[in-house]
C-alpha cells in the first residue's frame, strides 16, 4: 500500500441507498441509476450497504449481488467501499474476503453489536480481520446502534496496522472524533465524520471528509463542503454545511435512514421504501419532509 492513507480515504462518500421494489426485492436498475447520479454529482466514493443502504437487513447473498452491481457500474471512477462488518469475527472475515474477491477498494467494518465487547475484544476482532485481507480497512464507530464504542486509545493502537487506514465516527460526539484525530495525528491515518453536521468541522480539525447519508438527497451540496474547503473558500463550505440543517431537523419524525430514503423517493426516484419494520413515517413527518424538500428546490439546493 504505497498511497498515503489520508490521500486514499477522503472526500464525500455517500452510503448509497438500496432501492427496492414493492415486494422488498432489490431494484437493480435503480441502484445503477443512483450510483451514476452520485458519481455525476462529484462524490469521492460509493459506499455499498452501509447504514443508509440498509446493510443491517440484507442477506449475505443480496450484499454480494449489490456489490457486484455497484463495482460494475462505478467502473473505477471512484473507490467502492463495502460495509462488511458482522456480529462475529469469522463471518466478518468471510464477508470481507467476498468483497475483496469481487473487487471492492475499501472495507468499512462496523463494530460487532448486541453483545457487549471489551476494548481488547474489539481490537482482537479488527486485528484478525485485517490479517486475512489485503484491502484497506476503515473502522466504523456507531455506538448508539451497536452498543459498542471504539475508544481513542484502541483506534490509536489499531492505526499501527498498515492496512487499517482510517475510522468513521458516527458517535455524534465531536470531542470523540477530535480524540481520534489526536491519537493518530502522526500516523497518516484518515478520520471521517459519520455525522453529516460535523463534516466541515472534521476537515478543519484535520480529518479527511465524511460518509454522508444526506449526499443521497443533496449530492452536489455535500460535495461542495469538501471541494470548497479544499479550495480554501471556507465561507462557501460553511454555506453548504449549514444548508442541510433544515433537512436534518426532519429526523425528529423517525429513523434517519427511513427519512433519507423517503426524501429520495419524493425527489422522483424509484427507490421504494425501507424494509419493514423500519419503513414507517407519520403523516406529520411526511408533511414536514415534503415542505422541506419544496423549500430546498426553490433555493436550488440539490
CA angle centred on 226, ends 289 and 107, rounded to 5°: 85
Q: What is the rounded CA–CA span in Å between residue 143 and residue 150? A: 8
Longest dimension (CA), the chain: 52
pLDDT band at 12; cut points 50, 70, 90:
very high
With 0-12 / 13-18 / 19 or more C-beta atoms within 10 angstroms meaning exposed / middle / buried, residue 205 is middle
**DSSP-assigned states of every residue in 207-239:** --EEE-GGGGT-HHHHHHHHHHHHHT-HHHHHH
Any idea where the domains of the chain sit in the sequence?
5-231
Cell of 27: 431494484
Please give the share of the chain, as a percent, with pLDDT higher than 90.
Answer: 95
> What is the model's pLDDT at position 205?
97
Task: Answer yes or no: 168 catalytic.
Answer: yes
Phi-psi bin for 71: left (phi > 0), alpha (psi -120 to 50), beta? Answer: alpha
Superfamily of domain 5-231: Aldolase class I (3.20.20.70)
| Alpha-helix residue ranges (DSSP H) falling in 132-185 | 143-146, 152-158, 174-183
- Angstrom distance (rounded) from CA 159 to CA 157: 5
Q: Which long-range contacts (CB under 8 A, 24 or more apart) does 295-298 make?
A: 295/246, 296/218, 296/243, 296/246, 296/247
CB 265 within 8 A of CB 293: no
Count the residues in the chain.
302
Cα 25 to Cα 133: distance, rounded to the nearest angstrom: 30
Taking 70 as the threshold, does the pLDDT of residue 132 lie above it?
Answer: yes
pLDDT digits (tens, 9 = 90+) for 268-298: 999 999 999 999 899 999 999 999 999 999 9
Q: For the stretch 158-196, what's the b/e string if a residue is b when 16 or more beta carbons lie within 10 angstroms of its beta carbon?
A: bbeeeebbbbbbbbeebebbbbbbebbeeeebbbbbbbb
What are 16-66's pLDDT values in tens digits? Answer: 999 999 999 999 999 999 999 999 999 999 999 999 999 999 999 999 999
pLDDT tens-digit profile of 14-24?
999 999 999 99
Catalytic site includes residue 56: no
Q: Which three cell numbers stand for residue 48?
A: 455499498
Which listed residue (6, 10, 63, 168) is catalytic? 168
Average pLDDT over residues 244-271: 94
* Catalytic member of 10, 81, 126, 140: 140
- What residues have CB less than 8 Å from 37, skipping those under 6 apart? 219, 269
Amino acid at each position: 500500500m504505497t498511497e498515503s492513507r489520508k490521500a486514499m480515504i477522503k472526500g464525500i462518500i455517500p452510503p448509497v441507498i438500496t432501492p427496492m421494489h414493492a415486494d422488498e426485492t432489490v431494484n437493480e436498475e435503480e441502484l445503477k441509476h443512483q450510483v451514476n447520479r452520485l458519481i455525476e454529482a462529484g462524490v469521492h466514493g460509493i459506499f455499498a450497504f452501509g447504514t443508509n443502504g440498509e446493510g443491517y437487513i440484507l442477506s449475505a447473498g443480496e450484499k454480494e449481488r449489490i456489490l457486484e452491481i455497484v463495482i460494475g457500474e462505478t467502473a473505477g471512477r471512484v473507490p467502492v467501499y463495502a460495509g462488511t462488518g458482522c456480529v462475529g469475527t469469522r463471518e466478518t472475515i468471510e464477508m470481507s474476503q467476498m468483497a475483496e474477491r469481487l473487487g471492492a477498494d475499501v472495507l468499512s467494518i462496523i463494530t460487532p453489536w448486541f453483545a457487549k465487547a471489551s476494548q481488547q475484544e474489539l481490537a482482537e476482532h479488527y486485528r484478525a480481520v485485517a490479517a486475512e485481507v489485503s484491502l484497506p480497512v476503515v473502522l466504523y464507530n456507531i455506538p448508539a446502534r451497536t452498543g459498542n464504542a471504539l475508544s481513542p486509545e484502541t483506534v490509536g493502537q489499531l492505526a499501527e496496522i498498515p492496512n487499517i487506514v482510517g475510522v468513521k465516527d458516527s458517535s455524534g460526539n465531536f470531542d470523540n472524533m477530535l480524540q481520534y484525530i489526536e491519537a493518530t495525528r502522526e500516523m497518516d491515518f484518515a478520520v471521517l465524520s459519520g455525522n453529516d453536521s460535523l463534516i466541515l468541522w472534521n476537515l478543519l480539525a484535520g480529518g479527511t471528509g465524511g460518509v454522508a447519508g444526506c449526499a443521497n438527497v443533496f449530492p452536489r451540496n455535500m460535495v461542495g463542503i469538501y471541494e470548497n474547503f479544499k479550495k480554501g473558500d471556507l465561507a462557501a463550505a460553511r454555506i453548504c454545511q449549514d444548508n442541510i440543517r433544515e433537512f436534518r431537523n426532519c429526523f425528529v419524525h423517525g429513523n434517519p435512514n427511513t427519512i433519507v430514503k423517503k426524501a429520495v423517493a419524493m425527489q422522483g426516484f424509484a427507490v421504494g421504501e425501507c424494509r419493514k419494520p423500519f419503513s414507517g413515517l407519520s403523516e406529520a413527518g411526511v408533511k414536514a419532509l415534503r415542505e422541506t424538500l419544496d423549500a430546498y428546490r426553490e433555493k436550488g439546493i440539490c
